[in-house]
């Protein structure tokens, strides 16, 4: 019997809305945030089976800087609860791109992870 395993992990990003009348933390202009949601998902035969690593991203309308939004605020925004988005809810994504090493297996792991994707160690 030949068994084909057609599955894998993928990443998706979808815009969820715009937050108006904010002062850009990067350049000080009156601007708006374009908010999108990204997540990893596992698919099997092209059917997404589960999602993890859900993150909310903010792009400033003025200078195009990218931030990661506090997930609590992101969820509220997605549910149209009109949360106030303050500067402390934003994390510049240049920090996000940096890596840390896992204490369990020493793998280089993206700082966006709470658990090591290789060995499951809490980071
Ligand atoms: Zn700006
Ligand atoms: Zn590890």
- Delimit the domains of the chain by residue range: 7-110
Q: What is the mean pLDDT of residues 16-29?
A: 93
Question: What's the confidence (pLDDT) of residue 94?
Answer: 59
pLDDT averaged over every residue in the chain? 86
Which residues on adjacent β-strands are paired with residue 118?
none
Helical residues (DSSP H) of the chain, grouped into ranges: 71-78, 93-96
Q: pLDDT value at position 96?
A: 44
Long-range contacts of 110-116 (CB under 8 A, 24+ apart): 112/53, 112/55, 112/68, 113/53
pLDDT of 56 > 90? The answer is yes
- Contacts for 68 with CB less than 8 Å, ≥ 6 apart: 55, 56, 57, 58, 90, 91, 93, 96, 112
Work out the pLDDT band at 38, boundaries 50, 70, 90.
very high
Say if residue 48's pLDDT is above 80. Answer: no
* Shortest-distance ligand to the CA of residue 118: 2
Segment 10-16 shows an average pLDDT of: 89
List the shell of residues around ion ligand 2, using CB closer than 5 Å.
Answer: 102, 104-105, 107, 116, 118-119, 121
Per-residue confidence (pLDDT) for residue 50, from 0 to 100:
80
pLDDT top residue among 69 and 44 = 69
């Amino acid at each position: 019997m030949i068994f084909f395993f057609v599955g894998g992990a993928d990443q998706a990003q979808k815009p969820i809305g715009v937050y108006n009348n904010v002062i850009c933390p990067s350049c000080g202009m009156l601007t708006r945030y374009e908010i999108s949601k990204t997540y990893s998902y596992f698919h099997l035969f092209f059917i997404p089976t589960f999602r993890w690593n859900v993150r909310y991203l903010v792009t400033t309308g003025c200078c195009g800087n990218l931030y990661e939004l506090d997930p609590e605020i992101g969820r509220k925004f997605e549910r149209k609860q009109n949360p106030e988005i303050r500067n402390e809810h934003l994390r510049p994504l240049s920090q996000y791109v940096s890596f840390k090493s896992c204490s369990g297996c020493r793998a280089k792991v993206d700082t966006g992870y709470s658990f090591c994707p290789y060995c499951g160690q809490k980071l």
